[in-house]
Amino acid sequence: MKLTTLLLFACLFQINASTYSQKTRITLDIKNESIESILFEKIEHVTDFKFFYENSALDLGKKVTFKFKKKRIDEVLKIVFKNTNIDFDIIDKQIILTKRKILPIKILEPSTPTQSGTLKWQNTINGTVKDANGENLPGANILEKGTTNGSQADFDGNFSINVSNINATLVVSYIGYVTKEVPLNGQSNVNIVLEESTFGLEEVVAIGFGRQKKESVVGAIESIKPAELDVPIRSLSNSLAGRVSGVLAVQRSGEPGKDDAQFWIRGISTFTGNQNPLVLVDGIERPLSDVDPIEIESFSVLKDASATAVYGVRGANGVILVNTRKGVKGEAKIDARLEQGWAWATKRPSYLNAFEQATLFNEGIDATPGSSQSLKFSQEALDAFRDHTDLELYPDVDWQEALMQDITATQKLSVNISGGGEKARYFVATSVYNQEGQYNINPGEYSWVSSSIGDFGSNVKYLRYNFRSNVDMDLSESTTVSLGLQGNISENKEPAGDVNEGSDSVYNWIVNSSPYAYPLQYKDGQLAQREVMQNPYNLLTQRGHMETIGNVLRSNLSIQQNLNSITEGLSANMKYAFDAVNWNRTERLRNIEYITAIGRNEDGELNYNTYGTADNTDYLNYSSTAWGDRTQYFETSLNYDNAFDKHSFGGLILFNMRSFSTNTSDSYINSLPNRSLGLSGRVTYAYDSKYFIETNLGYNGSENFPKGQRMGFFPSLAVGWLASKEEFLEDNEVVTWLKLRGSLGQVGSDQIGSTRFAYLSTIVGAPGYSGFGQNYDQGIEGLQEDQIGSTDITWEVATKYNLGIELGLYRDLRINTDIFYEKRENIFLQPQTSEVEGIRNSIWSNDGVMENKGFDMSIEYSRVLGDLTLTARGNFTYARNKILEDGRYYANSWQDARGTRYGERLLYDAEHLFSEEEIQALPDYYDQFSLDKTQLRPGDIKYRDVNDDGKINEDDRIFAANPSTPDVVFGFGASMEYKNFDFSFLFQGSAGASSYINAAWYFYPFQADRDPKYLGSLIDNFQDRWTPENPDPNAFAPRLYVGQDQNNYKASTWWVRDANYLRLRNLELGYTFSVPENFIKIDKSRIYLTGVNLVTFSKFAKDFWDPETGAAAYPIQASLFLGFNVSF
């Protein structure tokens, strides 16, 4: 067949041809085989493609080696025919091979005129950018060396660029990979493979108001890969602990919508005002909980002064930088994932049943002198509690079992699409997250009670819709406009609870209601309750429900202007952001009538007392409240970055201002907008990419201080030495990376906390006078001075020091360690004053001083062993603070808070439980909380007489326990990939924190001033208590007592426990499917199983409840998710 005939036939056929060549994907692993065998024995054998040629001079005998995975035929042939004389045309399933024509090049003299002036070569270069494993590198930058002419790889790693010379050199770069220069040497198709940087020399790291290559970073900055944060939980804040060194985090609740973790960078450094780090999303101050992990492009933690000084007033407590994803040039790529989860409590307290607690109550009556025996439960009642013979009059309710379900459901669906063309690129993501609470009705033996919560109540339910769009448009070769939009709508529904306290009060009364206080409900449908208590069943099902709806819209518009026309490396940026946050709470409530059973009559019917009849309604009332805020932010900057021979220079000057105002306010002062402005600068210099110096400056203004003291100047200086580039280490096979760095600087804070404008004195109303007039019924209110203004109050200033070392060994192991010290001075406080001064509120001053020191480190090991890729990592953070000055005076040196950690409590130092012999040996003058030796009993707690005066009183309290915030947080884990399987895990733990377990009626057995017989559900641990039969001086609980015990339930070390723990924070197992090549165009299809908080190792959790929460807090959730992810 003549080639011309074939071409004619193929063209006719093409009119109705399918797009077979676009749909088909080819996977090949070729080692030193001829092109001819590849085409006719490999490709034709596994596809419907047919090759035709008539020129025997083609380079078909050339042998090649390569590996492809799911590539289109045109991508395959471009690489196969590289450096040959073969060209091709694809006409559906027919591929025509021809000899590549080499056009003669006519060299013109510079003065030779053309129609458009001097002729310039315009050559289109096509190619791909991949890593050493053959994976695409979308977004890789391709630049013609010596020019500003550039392009970007699309999602498949393909790129196209017009160069001015066929012998030009391309400079190809990608985050985390070594930049590569590729001479074209006349080639029009190039396939570029980038090697991963051993330790990210070329990686670009987000820093304050900019980016730097990782090798030149001299501040304490830690970055984490976004994939490591991609956990299917509501709040990103719960993914930080154990993943990033320098971050301490604690989660206090597991309730849907209220489960954000508190987190600090290098601990707590101040005891007044704001202690939280600054969180910037795309350069704008925004909450971390609004960010979906799939939207993140980079995540960095700025820890020392050199990294945060440019933020001045806002950066005192460290900074977290989150940059969201942007689009890249190429066809639209869609990524979708669906995750179905099941959650359960990590640990709930275990409580005594009705018979056990009633028995303890009787024991307490017997052990309490003067108590009436009539208060005791009768034997009939005890038998009924044990045998469940009358569950209305003698109930036995396990409130957790009755009102909470073991497993709840969670769903998350997320989709994102990205792509772009020559002038515009886009990234759009949306997600929906739905989480169900754990409240439910499980009647058990109360079979007459409905298992439905009903219309008068509600379970907790949290629903959130997220949306984000980032669009970048090139208005010209030097001007880019970016528009970012982010919004979310959240719906949080919960039971109304007690006096609009929501679900918090439901769980609080679950643990504060004794098992025999009241049944769920009486058989005749009447509601059960006691007059001074709340039945949690009623709070959940009868009192109504609340719904809080949040509408958030955040926008930012920026313009980036390349000013290379003025001087190489100069650029400008302008940014404006507007955020609107609105909340609306709808409350549908009602009052109820309830009864308390007090016995049965002769006919066996209940006798009872009725309450709430006058206020009872059989419908839900309606009310609503609304609140919100608005924020505007403006920023403009001028940047410079250039290199001359071995010298590299960088500079930044930036101006910003911010205005924040609330939609509703409770006072005139709080209704005024919060406004601030600042000027920042940075100068960097590097010599030979080995020696680095950087200075950062922040100059900020605050309205919180009087004139003359509103501006603060915060400088920093940092130096670095990349020793591994020195000749004596340059080729070292052991120490492959060594960098030393140090910094010092200052940052400031103007957040006083409970007040604004502390320099202004305020006047409030006073009671005045009454009793005037003819009938002595007239009066007038007066005025009084409230807050005395402080005319010299000024900035809180933190001076920070940091020394760091980065070490790489054998190209596989990397260790980063930083030692830090911070001294916070001028801390805002209200110093102690004498009562005789007559000051209503103490004046504010800058008298506080606090220090914070410690170290953090991270270790990472990575190795590829054939088909197995192994990565192991760990991090450790130790941050301990100390109060140096707090503006107070102390009568006792041992009660001086100076020298203690922030959050430590004054406690009595409990030694053990008294024995009879010890009591008798006490001197006659001994006094313990006004109890003499004749009033103390065996089994009472014996406290240390700190001042040795024979009396136990407030003067004997000491600082003797850790605060509730840990000073040690650590994490370690690993990830493995083997062929199509992947597996990863992360353990996280903390130490140095205490939990004070004696904090409510469930730990004050029979001590309540309101009905001590029924208030409080005792945990199982009270089985181990002091009794004459168990005279253990170290029993869990002292002797029982009914009424106000003056001795045993003081705040003391007896009730303190270490809250250390180790938790399996994350576990994931996944499998990536090999999609049939000619089935559907799918780039990736993966199924996975993810576990969160699956196992907790903790003595505290074994004995009590989750170590991060209190007993009355909604339990932290463990969860298991089944997910499916597809990209196409």
Which of the four pLDDT bands, split at 50, 70 and 90, describes residue 451? very high
4 pLDDT above the threshold of 50: no
Q: What is the pLDDT of residue 331?
A: 86
The Cα–Cα gap between 752 and 352 comes to 46
- The residue length of the chain stands at 1128
**Two tokens, residue 33:** 């085989």
Any idea what DSSP says for residue 243?
A: T
CB 747 within 8 A of CB 798: yes
Q: What is the pLDDT of residue 108?
A: 37
Strand partners, 322: 281, 299
Instruction: Read off the pTM.
Output: 0.81
Q: Which residue has the tokens 């070490």?
A: 807
Pairing between β-strand 906-908 and β-strand 957-959 as defined by DSSP bridges: antiparallel
3-state secondary structure 787-820: ECCCCCCCCEEEEEEEEEEEEEECCCEEEEEEEE
How far is C-alpha 762 from the chain's CA centre?
39
Q: What is the mean pLDDT of residues 534-548?
A: 95
Which of the four pLDDT bands, split at 50, 70 and 90, describes residue 177? low
CB 582 within 8 A of CB 548: no
Q: How many CB atoms lie within 10 A of CB 100?
A: 14
For residue 951, give every residue at least 6 positions away whose Cβ sits within 8 Å of its Cβ, in sequence order, or none. 926, 927, 928, 945
The residue type found at 630 is R
Position with higher pLDDT, 272 vs 619: 619
109 pLDDT above the threshold of 80: no
**Two tokens, residue 1019:** 């945990």
Could you give the percent of the chain with pLDDT greater than 70? Answer: 91
Q: How many CB atoms lie within 10 A of CB 112?
A: 10
CA-nearest of 802, 692, 796 to 745 is: 802
Q: First vs last Cα of the chain: how many Å apart?
A: 40
Q: What is the mean pLDDT of residues 867-888?
A: 93
What fold, for 123-194? Immunoglobulin-like (2.60.40)
- Model confidence over 419-446: pLDDT tens digits? 998 899 999 999 999 999 999 999 999 9
**Two tokens, residue 600:** 């049965």
202 pLDDT above the threshold of 60: no
Q: What is the mean pLDDT of residues 470-489?
A: 95
Least trusted range by pLDDT, from 324-333, 814-823, 1058-1067: 324-333
Which of the four pLDDT bands, split at 50, 70 and 90, describes residue 12? very low
120 pLDDT above the threshold of 70: no
Q: Which residues in the chain are classed under CATH 2.60.40.1120?
A: 123-194
Main-chain dihedrals φ then ψ at residue 96, nearest 5 degrees:
-100, 125
Q: How many CB atoms lie within 10 A of CB 307?
A: 32
The DSSP result for 276-302, as a single string, is SPEEEETTEE--GGG--GGGEEEEEEE
- Model confidence over 1075-1123: pLDDT tens digits? 765 556 787 899 999 999 999 999 999 999 999 998 888 999 999 999 9
839 pLDDT above the threshold of 80: no
Q: Which residue has the tokens 């000749």?
A: 727
3-state secondary structure 394-439: CCCCCHHHHHECCCEEEEEEEEEEEEECCCEEEEEEEEEEEEECCE
Q: Which residue has the tokens 């549908």?
A: 588
Position with higher pLDDT, 33 vs 451: 451
CA-nearest of 313, 592, 563, 568 to 457 is: 592
Tell me which range, 30-39, 345-354, 825-834, is most confidently predicted by mean pLDDT.
345-354
324 pLDDT above the threshold of 90: yes
Which of the four pLDDT bands, split at 50, 70 and 90, describes residue 214? low
198 pLDDT above the threshold of 60: no
- Model confidence over 15-54: pLDDT tens digits? 333 456 666 778 777 777 788 878 877 787 778 788 877 6
Q: What is the pLDDT of residue 206?
A: 54
Helices (H) and strands (E) in the chain, counts: 14, 55
**Two tokens, residue 219:** 């501040």
For residue 329, give every residue at least 6 positions away whose Cβ sits within 8 Å of its Cβ, in sequence order, or none. 151, 152, 153, 154, 159, 419, 420, 421, 422, 425
Which of the four pLDDT bands, split at 50, 70 and 90, describes residue 309? confident
- SS3 state at 13: helix
Position with higher pLDDT, 735 vs 177: 735
How far are the Cα atoms of 447, 519, 592, 1007 from residue 529, in angstroms, in the given order?
Answer: 19, 8, 10, 20
- Model confidence over 751-801: pLDDT tens digits? 887 778 888 888 888 887 777 777 777 778 888 888 888 888 999 999 999
The Cα–Cα gap between 1012 and 1009 comes to 6
- SS3 state at 950: coil
621 pLDDT above the threshold of 90: yes
- SS3 state at 110: coil
**Exposure string over 567-605, b if 16+ CB within 10 A, otherwise e:** eebbbebebebebbbebebebbbbebbbbbbeeeeeeee
Q: What is the pLDDT of residue 840?
A: 78
For residue 142, give every residue at least 6 positions away whose Cβ sits within 8 Å of its Cβ, in sequence order, or none. 127, 129, 150, 151, 152, 153, 159, 161, 170, 171, 172
Q: What is the pLDDT of residue 16?
A: 37
CB 80 within 8 A of CB 71: no
Q: What is the mean pLDDT of residues 593-622?
A: 92
Please state, rounded to an integer, the average pLDDT across all residues of the chain: 87
689 pLDDT above the threshold of 70: yes
**Two tokens, residue 285:** 């101050």
Q: Which residue has the tokens 């799911």?
A: 70
249: left (phi over 0), alpha (psi -120 to 50) or beta: beta
Which of the four pLDDT bands, split at 50, 70 and 90, describes residue 940? very high
714 pLDDT above the threshold of 50: yes
Q: Which residues in the chain are classed under CATH 3.55.50.30?
A: 3-99
Widest CA span of the chain, in angstroms? 127
Q: What is the mean pLDDT of residues 723-750?
A: 90
Which of the four pLDDT bands, split at 50, 70 and 90, describes residue 983? very high
Q: What is the mean pLDDT of residues 93-118?
A: 53
In this structure, CATH architecture of domain 3-99: 3-Layer(bab) Sandwich (3.55)
